[in-house]
A and B are shown apart, each in its own frame.
Chain A
Amino acid sequence: MNLLEKITENLDTVFRGDAWHGPSVMEILNSIPAEKVAQKHQLSKQTITQHVYHLTAWRKFALEKLNDNIHYSLETEDDNWGKDSETTPECFPKLVDDLKKYHGLLLDELEKYNDDLLTKQVPGEYYDYYKLLNGIIQHDTYHLGMIWVIWE
């Protein structure tokens, strides 16, 4: 297994497997009661639906960058967290489907590459794909922790 395959495997394990750190993304999302998905915990700013939108948004970012879209960026609050109309409780199933879809697309796309990708600069950014791809996995776990507390 080359390094890119290891990273991809790690990405998928944290997303839906038996992750070392604890619950995977899908384990948590599949367990959240419907009434909790749009809840803001006391004074927290984002809902669980917005966090799910956010995880998808950065997978789209990675896909765009892999397609050499140098100008693609997530600039605004809406880019990052979705519009209110896109993150209602009713949107939750679609948001989870989108997340699964873009996760799958990212895995498919990464299959086309070898380890040379990892030291390549991400178009329009100062870092390489090693940092981006590991960053996406870490980003998942960070937001998963937030989702868990909002759910509590």
Chain B
Amino acid sequence: MAKKATENLLVERIKDLLNASFHGGAWHGPSVLELTKGISAKEAAFKVADAHTIAELIYHITSWRIFVLKRLQGDSTYNIEDDKKNWGNFDKIDQFELETLMMEMTLSQDELIKELESKTDAFLEEIVPGSEYTYYTLIHGIIHHDLYHSGQIAILKKIAKKSRNDDDDFEGSRYFEDGFGDNLI
């Protein structure tokens, strides 16, 4: 039987944080989707020094979201054991591949939310099997991980856009029109 929302207030609040940081309305600034929507394949593949490309970062964000999903589903053995699984393998990227990356990331959000909805506040206190931290730490950790890499994407996107020196298919986020992703609140 489905639990009532009022029974697990902390789960509900964490769900709100996860949704806001992914879709929009977060306190800190632009969400993952607000930063990544409208990126072109050229921008996603743009290389800056030793930093990972935006395509690799999107792949990486999804990889760790799947890791969290597996842990929430009770799979304590799933791991991201090599670079390819961590960052993908993109010699070049086209619009179709980018759309697939975006779709997989968005699907991971739906699955995380669905999984969270089946949990109780008491569950969040439990230690994640095979680790020393709780599910509370794990879920906040994935939000922080999303945003840490989103901050990287914010800068890379700005540099890629300027470096391309054309505006053919770029759809700039409102966060970049008057500053640098810091329209806080």
Chain A residues in the interface with B (C-beta under 8 A): 3, 6, 10, 14, 19-22, 41-46, 54, 58, 74, 80, 125, 127, 130-132, 134-139, 141-150, 152
Query: What is the bound-complex CA distance between A143 and B150, given in angstroms?
Result: 9
Contact call B151/A146, Cβ cutoff below 8 A: yes
Whether A152 touches B26, Cβ cut-off 8 Å, given contacts A21-B145, A43-B159, A45-B180, is no
Contact call A152/B48, Cβ cutoff below 8 A: yes
The residue that A152 contacts in the complex, of B49, B149, B180, with Cβ under 8 A, is: B49
Q: With A10-B137, A42-B163 given, can you name 18 additional A-B contacts, CB distance below 8 Å? A: A19-B144, A20-B141, A20-B142, A20-B145, A22-B148, A43-B163, A44-B180, A45-B180, A58-B184, A80-B182, A134-B17, A134-B27, A135-B26, A135-B28, A142-B28, A142-B151, A145-B155, A149-B152
Query: What is the bound-complex CA distance between A10 and B17, given in angstroms?
Result: 15
Cβ of A143: which chain B residues have Cβ within 8 Å of it? 151
Contact call A43/B144, Cβ cutoff below 8 A: no
Q: Is B29 in contact with chain A by the CB < 8 A criterion?
A: yes
Q: Is B147 in contact with chain A by the CB < 8 A criterion?
A: yes
Contact call A138/B159, Cβ cutoff below 8 A: no
Cβ of A46: which chain B residues have Cβ within 8 Å of it? 180
Q: Is B158 in contact with chain A by the CB < 8 A criterion?
A: yes
The residue that A142 contacts in the complex, of B29, B136, B137, B156, with Cβ under 8 A, is: B29
Contact call A146/B154, Cβ cutoff below 8 A: yes
B118-149: which have CB < 8 Å to A?
133, 136-138, 140-145, 147-149
Contact call A6/B136, Cβ cutoff below 8 A: yes
Query: What is the bound-complex CA distance between A21 and B181, given in angstroms?
Result: 21
Contact call B179/A45, Cβ cutoff below 8 A: yes
Cβ of B141: which chain A residues have Cβ within 8 Å of it? 19-21
Whether A146 touches B144, Cβ cut-off 8 Å, given contacts A10-B137, A45-B179, A58-B184, is no
Q: Is B21 in contact with chain A by the CB < 8 A criterion?
A: yes
**Chain B interface mostly helix, strand, loop or mixed?**
helix
Cβ of B91: which chain A residues have Cβ within 8 Å of it? none
A33 → chain B, closest Cβ, in Å? 14
16 A-B pairs with CB atoms under 8 Å apart are A3-B10, A10-B137, A42-B48, A44-B159, A44-B180, A127-B27, A132-B27, A134-B17, A137-B144, A138-B26, A142-B29, A142-B148, A142-B151, A145-B147, A145-B150, A148-B152
B130 → chain A, closest Cβ, in Å? 14
Cβ of A80: which chain B residues have Cβ within 8 Å of it? 182, 184
Query: What is the bound-complex CA distance between A58 and B151, given in angstroms?
Result: 17
Cβ of B150: which chain A residues have Cβ within 8 Å of it? 142, 145
Q: Is B162 in contact with chain A by the CB < 8 A criterion?
A: yes
A11 → chain B, closest Cβ, in Å? 10
Residue of B with least CB distance to A147: B151
B120 → chain A, closest Cβ, in Å? 15
Cβ of B145: which chain A residues have Cβ within 8 Å of it? 20-22, 141
